[in-house]
Amino acid sequence: MVKHELTFHNMCPSSMMRIDTTLPHRDKLTIITHKMRPHIQSSCPPLMITKDMYFALLTHTKIATRRMWKNRPGIHEAHVRAAHMGQLVRVWSRPDAGSLYGKLVGHVRYTHTFDQRLDQMTLFDVALEGFPTWSVEDFLASKFPGETLSTVVHVFMFMFYPKRARAPA
């Protein structure tokens, strides 16, 4: 596996930061944003992921999520606020059977947010969700069962930062 470099540019050249990582399928990825605040963590509720989604996050094949918090508007507003402020949002694994809590696996920083109707989804959107082999119909049946195609969901595009392993003592 080749070591690649991610470069994040801020409006101020003195605040540019570099992160080295291994990406198996990309030569170089440059993200330009004016809202980089790497030290600020959001207080909004964490995103919960399954174990199979963790690999997609690590390989950067999952860079989008669609959420529909229609009965919990406070959570929706907190995530949108975190996106606009450029804050980090915690990502937790779902708890195993017999376990009360999952574990922190990393953080995401939202890069784009927008509303989208389910009937506007394309195969490319499904691939960005981490399911490159699924059809749009399969994705909607699995992730949004019982919802009509006119349902509006909020799309969050993001970068995933895995939790760093502790150095041995």
| Band of residue 40 on the pLDDT scale cut at 50, 70, 90 | low
User: Which candidate, 8, 163, 131, 1, places its Cα nearest to that of 66?
Assistant: 131
**pLDDT computed for residue 99 by the predictor:** 66
The percentage of residues in the chain with a pLDDT greater than 70, rounded to a whole number, is 69
User: What are the pLDDT digits (tens) for 100-109?
Assistant: 677 889 999 9
Per-residue pLDDT at 98: 67
Res 157: pLDDT: 94
Average pLDDT rounded to a whole number, residues 111-139: 94
Please give the model's pTM, rounded to 2 decimal places.
Answer: 0.69
Which helix (H) or strand (E) segment holds residue 58: the answer is helix 51-58
For residue range 143-168, what is the model confidence (pLDDT) as tens digits?
Answer: 999 999 999 999 999 999 998 755 44
Domains of the chain: 1-36 (no CATH), 37-162 (3.10.400.10)
Q: Which residues of 33-57 are buried (b: 16+ CB within 10 A; e: fewer)?
A: eeebebeeebebeebebeeebbebb
